[in-house]
Amino acid sequence: MNFYRKGRIVAATLVFVAVTLLFLDFSGTIHRYLGWLAEVQLLPALLAVNVVVVVALVLLTLLFGRLYCSVICPLGVMQDGIARLGLRAKKNRYGYTRPRTLLRVGVLVLFGVLFLGGVGSLFALLAPYSAFGRIVTNLLQPLWMWGNNLLAMVAAHYDSYAFYEVTVWWKGLASLLTAVVTLVVVGLLAWRGGRTWCNTICPVGTLLGFISRYAWMRPVIDTEKCNGCGLCARRCKAACIDPKSHTIDMSRCVVCFDCLDSCRQGAIRYEVRRKKGPAKQSQPTDGARRSFLTMGAAVVASTVVAQQQKKVDGGVATILDKQIPNRQTPILPPGARSASHFAQHCTACQLCVAACPNGVLRPSGGVMTLLQPTLSFERGYCRPECTKCSEVCPTDAISLLTREEKSSRQVGHAVWVRENCVAASREVQCDNCARHCPTGAIQMVEQGEGKAKIPTVDAERCIGCGACEYLCPARPFSALYVEGHEVQRTL
Amino acid sequence: MNTNDKKQVTRREFLRRLGVGGAFAATSLVGCTPKGRTADTASERRPDAAKMTYRTTPTTGDKVSLLGYGCMRWPLVDPEDRNSPMDQEQVNRLVDYAIEHGVNYFDTAPVYGRGLSERVTGTALKRHPREKYFIATKLSNMRDFSREGALAMYRKSFEELQVDYIDYYLLHSIGGGDGIPTVRKRFFDNGVLEFLLKEREAGRIRNLGFSYHGDVKAFDYLLSLHDEIRWDFVQIQLNYVDWKHAGRRNTNADYLYDELWKRGIPSVIMEPLLGGRLASLNEHLTTRLKERRPEESIASWAFRFAGTPEGVLTVLSGMTYQEHLEDNLKTYSPLEPCTDEELTLLEDTAQRYLRYPLINCTDCLYCMPCPYGLDIPAIFKHYNKCINEGNVSASSGDADYRRARRAFLVGYDRSVPKLRQAAHCIGCRECVEHCPQRIDIPAQMRKIDAYVEDLKQGKHF
């Protein structure tokens, strides 16, 4: 195996494992060391206007070709893994195809339009890093958590506190379905044709393809040594080697170095560019390749209201599960600034959902904000000391907050529902909401002789953390629920 | 880590380890002297039926075993589920073993174990000759003061226990409510006491007495009527902490015991272990007791203390596990009374014990079910465990604060489901009147909740 290919495989494996761990981890420890890996992803960096990262990635591509696609992008590495399995079934299965530039540019333009138009939902479906994040959080994280819970059981047996149990809960059909469909579509394409997805649909691939045409270093076929066997083309998962013309389409090449190994004549070398790349050729679009988009739409149509997983425990009095109230405005994570800013900047990668320790964040089922995180308080509330989601967000959709900022960031306000309140309707003494309100926005007021005090909300002081909603004894609907705000502000 | 492990040994494990340790010590002697103790001698340390200490009642001449079986905490089919039925087979085994080893006093009540205890106890005992055991049950008319209600409850006990006479019948939990007026309403104004005295004459009740918690005026009042009523026995809470330090919500046991002793009334002892809290002490106190009697459990000290006064008829222990039963049988077969020096040591242990502010919950479950779903005893148990193991920090600057914080929070989620934790207490106060230890449960819940919040928010305190 040549040096380049070996290096690529080692680096890609390391990055892939690290990014996967990032999405699996619920304790926040891994993020401290590997969080930067989410920030060097191209789309998140663009959204975060992270100039350093964007310039670095452009330079990397200009110098060495689409190394980003073969090493840094987790979805790309995942495809390489699946393609490897495909090769076991049938060797030398690939072949040169002409570039489908129209489809590629078309998708990129659509992507740009969706982004600028603020339709974050569809735009997020295509973002490679986010697609990978959804696959891991939806399909792999539950297994990871169950494994952890097994360890926690063992630890509890030995009176050790090394592991603690976490709740695995149902976060909604939309996100699960999206993850499954993405995995199946991308996986099938990878099995059959290697990097088909990256070179037809992926907007990041197209974008980097524009740059990599001018790459300084590139694989080159030495026509004097080449005996025209065409083996390189059948091994090329990007389908970009044209053995007849001895050219390699650098806009599609992901610099995997497989061809260097495949050539028995040693005719392919990775070296500094000598002459201009081949002229581009345009081809009609392939209707079948659009299937992914159609399926994406199907997902939107089948969006179902998120349901709560039933919790089983051996208690005494039965405790009804809380139900999600009908909120007029969804609640956004603290630090999201505004609904429009958030919709445009969030790629729905689920990193914050995976990291939320309070069971508050979950992917939204709304069409315009599909899979972008939203808050609800059935399993906990947005604790004042916690800033996890803003720490992990790579796109600046949730801007980094200090604890002080977080505890004064108003994401919504509580609304009191008299009919549900045990103090008002059943005249039971209860001030659990007022007692737990971190900003003192709830005051208990007299209702006359012999009557229990009832809570009142000062919406001006309320930050919408949901402590009152979560801790309210009324079930399944709390007597206080939080209405979201379109624009967040600091009190 | 090693020291933590030592601290976190539960009583059960502790006994198991003790057994292994004993066996090891015994085998190591074999090499030196051929006639020395062998590994088998470890099993000789098992309880011996012939050696059980018995005390005799003055009125009926009953020969009662010093170890009495408290039937409040029978094993459940699913120990994790507080709503689980009782495990009759396991109960039968425990009862058989106890009777085989000389135990003959079984104490239950209509309200014990969600009302299931009498039936389960009666079923287990029915398999033995009636003259082999004494049954104690109670009139638990704490909620309904009517004569009809009380009589129905009395008759139901016969049915549940499947007997035609009751050996020891108690007016249950005198001193609750508002003291004397409640006692009068429960037993005097409705003529229930008069009825019970007639039942005693008829032989359906062989011994009549009462159990006491709380307001001492009620206790004094009933004793003042001793000449008329002739109490055959009285049940009191006695252990080396309550002896002189019962606190303002209960009465010191030395006073209660002396009052009974003066009148020649035998005392039946409840809470000898203070709801299990005297079965495991902190490291320092454990070491001091272990130095004196290395092979005996910490609980055995409490049992020896409770059995030492001669006026004690029997000491009740709610033994859920076979290991506890065996350990207690060992302690009382026969009783080795505490020496004066040991009594001084235990008094000092009590004083040091009280420096750690444990919540005096005995896990009697009278407060349950909480209408808002809290698991009150489990919360208190976790808190007490953490205090005993040094996991409740006095200040966030403590040297091992981070470790203690993790142990407290992770252990909290482990022992109490999130929705049943202290944060969900709304302070409705329904539980307060049911607590025989008179704990201000909502106030304690708030205290624990506030502490948890301090930990979670990482506040400096």
**By three-state DSSP, how is residue B211 classified?**
strand
Task: Give the number of domains in chain A.
Answer: 2
A 10 A CB-CB count for B155 gives: 10
pLDDT at A469 over 80: yes
Does the structure show a pLDDT above 70 at A348? yes
pLDDT tens for each residue of B329-383: 999 999 999 999 999 999 999 988 887 778 888 888 888 888 899 999 999 999 9
| pLDDT band with cut points at 50, 70 and 90 for residue B282 | confident
- Would you list which residues of chain B are within 8 Å, Cβ to Cβ, of chain A? 4-5, 8-9, 78, 80-84, 368-373, 375, 406-407, 410-411, 413-414, 417-420, 423-429, 446, 456-458
| A contact residues 303-362, partner B, Cβ 8 Å cutoff | 311, 313-319
A96 occurs within a structural domain: yes
Residue type, A450: G
Whether residues A248 and A367 share a domain: the answer is no
Predicted local distance difference test score (pLDDT) of residue A300? 33
**Burial bucket for residue B435 (CB in 10 Å: 0-12, 13-18, 19+):** buried
Average pLDDT estimate for B172-193: 92
- CA separation for the pair B289, B237 (Å, rounded): 23
pLDDT digits (tens, 9 = 90+) for A205-227: 999 999 999 999 999 998 888 88
Interchain pair B426, A159: CB under 8 A: no
Nearest CA in chain B to A433: B426
Task: Report the C-alpha gap between B328 and B339 in whole angstroms.
Answer: 19
Q: Is the pLDDT of residue B45 over 60?
A: no
Q: Which domain holds residue A22?
A: 3-133+178-272
**Is the pLDDT score of A292 beyond 60?**
no
Confidence of residue A188 (pLDDT cuts 50, 70, 90): very high
Nearest to B140 by CA among B172, B114, B184: B172
In this structure, are A235 and A317 located in the same domain? no
Name residue A325's beta-bridge partners. Answer: none
Contacts 24+ apart (CB under 8 A), B86-93: B86/B113, B86/B116, B86/B117, B86/B120, B88/B120, B88/B123, B88/B124, B91/B120, B91/B121, B91/B123, B91/B124, B92/B123, B92/B124, B92/B127, B93/B322
Cβ of A436 within 8 Å of Cβ of B423? The answer is: yes
Q: Residue A120 has what pLDDT?
A: 61
**Residue A25 · residue A354 · CB < 8 Å:** yes
Distance from CA of B356 to the nearest CA of A (A): 22
Calpha distance A235→A96 (Å, rounded): 10
Tell if the CB–CB gap between A165 and B425 is shorter than 8 Å.
Answer: no
Q: Do A315 and B80 touch (CB under 8 A)?
A: no
| Residue A278 forms part of a structural domain | no
- The answer to whether the beta carbons of residues B155 and B139 sit under 8 Å apart is no
Contacting residues of B for A436, CB less than 8 Å apart? 423
Taking CB atoms and an 8 Å limit, are B375 and A319 in contact across chains?
no
> Is A429's CB within 8 Å of B429's CB?
yes
The alpha carbon of residue B447 is apart from the nearest alpha carbon of chain A, in Å, by: 12
Type of residue numbered A290:
R
Distance CA B41, CA A164 (A): 43
Chains A, B: CB contacts within 8 A come to: 81
Contacts of residue A140, defined as CB under 8 A and 6 or more positions apart, other chains included, come to A20, A23, A24
Q: What is the pTM of this model?
A: 0.69
* Omega before B79 within 30 of 0, i.e. cis: no
Tell me the C-alpha distance between A133 and A179, whole Å.
9
- The mean pLDDT value for A266-289 works out to 59
Residues 6+ apart with CB under 8 A from B101: B47, B48, B49, B52, B329, B333
Minimal CA separation from B382 to chain A, in Å: 13
Domain match, A65 and A207 both: yes
Considering only CA atoms, which of A205, A53, A26 is closest in space to residue A131?
A205
In chain A, % of residues over pLDDT 90: 52
Nearest-by-CA chain B residue for A322: B419
Is the confidence at residue B390, as pLDDT, over 50?
A: yes
- Clarify whether residues A21 and A86 are in a common domain: yes
Q: Which of A26, A158, A159 is the mutation pick for testing B, counting most B CBs within 10 A?
A: A159
How many whole angstroms separate alpha carbon A147 and alpha carbon A142? 8
pLDDT higher than threshold 80 for residue A296: no
For the segment B232-240, the average pLDDT, to the nearest whole number, is 96
User: Of B84, B373, B429, which has the smallest distance from its Cβ to A319's Cβ?
Assistant: B373
Please check whether residues A323 and A261 belong to one and the same domain.
no
A162-181 CB burial, b ≥16 within 10 A, e <16: ebbbbebbebbbbbbbbbeb
For residue A41, is pLDDT > 80? yes
d(CA B217, CA B212): 11
Separation CA A297–CA A181 (nearest Å): 11
- Residue A403 inside a domain? The answer is yes
Q: What is the SS3 assignment for A338?
A: strand
Pairing of strands B205-212, B233-237: parallel
pLDDT greater at residue B87 or residue A125: B87
A148 inside domain: no
Q: Cβ separation of B420 and A315 shorter than 8 Å? A: yes
Record the tokens describing residue B202, joined without a space. 């008829």
Q: Please report residues of B whose CB lies closer than 8 A to that of A318.
A: 373
A101-105, A115-119, B352-356, B358-362: least confidently modelled range: A115-119
Q: How far apart are the first and last CA of chain B?
A: 25
Query: Rounded distance, CA A484 to CA A324, Å?
Result: 13
Residues in chain B: 461
* Cβ contacts of A385 on chain B, cutoff 8 Å: 456-458
Please tell me which residue, B420 or B461, carries the higher pLDDT value: B420
Among A16-30, A264-278, A425-439, B30-44, the minimum mean pLDDT is found in: B30-44
Q: With an 8 Å Cβ cutoff, are A316 and B423 in contact? A: no
pLDDT band at A438 (very low <50, low <70, confident <90, very high): very high
Whose structure tokens read 């539960």? B10
* The dihedral sign for the CA sequence A472, A477, A480, A481: positive
R_g of chain A, CA atoms, integer Å: 26
Domain ranges for chain B: 8-44, 49-353, 376-457
- Biggest CA pair distance of chain B: 73
Collect all residues of chain A within an 8 Å Cβ-Cβ radius of residue B366: none
Q: Within a domain: residue A52?
A: yes
- Contact list, B425 vs chain A (CB under 8 Å): 432
Q: Are residues A328 and A426 in the same domain?
A: yes
Q: How far, CA to CA in Å, does A383 sit from each of A380, A442, B183, B458?
A: 8, 17, 49, 12
What whole-number distance in Å separates Cα of residue B217 and Cα of residue A223? 111
Query: Residue B437 in contact with residue B213, Cβ under 8 Å?
Result: yes
Q: Report the CATH number that the domain containing residue A348 is assigned in CATH.
A: 3.30.70.20
Question: Looking at the domain B49-353, which fold is it?
Answer: TIM Barrel (3.20.20)
Q: Shortest CB distance from B419 goes to which of A319, A430, A436?
A: A319
Which chain B residues contact residue A319 at CB under 8 A? 373, 419-420
Query: In this model, does residue A266 exceed pLDDT 70?
Result: yes
- Distance, in angstroms, between A433 CA and closest chain B CA? 9
Residue type, B427: G
Q: Is 60 exceeded by the pLDDT of residue A297?
A: no
CA-based nearest residue in chain A for residue B10: A159
User: Residue A244: pLDDT above 50?
Assistant: yes
Residue of B406, B419, B426 with shortest CB distance to A430: B426
Q: Could you tell me whether strands A247-248 and A241-242 are parallel, antiparallel, or unpaired per DSSP bridges?
A: antiparallel
Q: Is the pLDDT of residue B40 over 60?
A: no
Residue A311 and residue A266 share a domain: no
Which among A440, A433, A429 has a CA at the least distance from the CA of A468?
A: A433
Closest residue of chain B to A158, computed from CA coordinates: B5
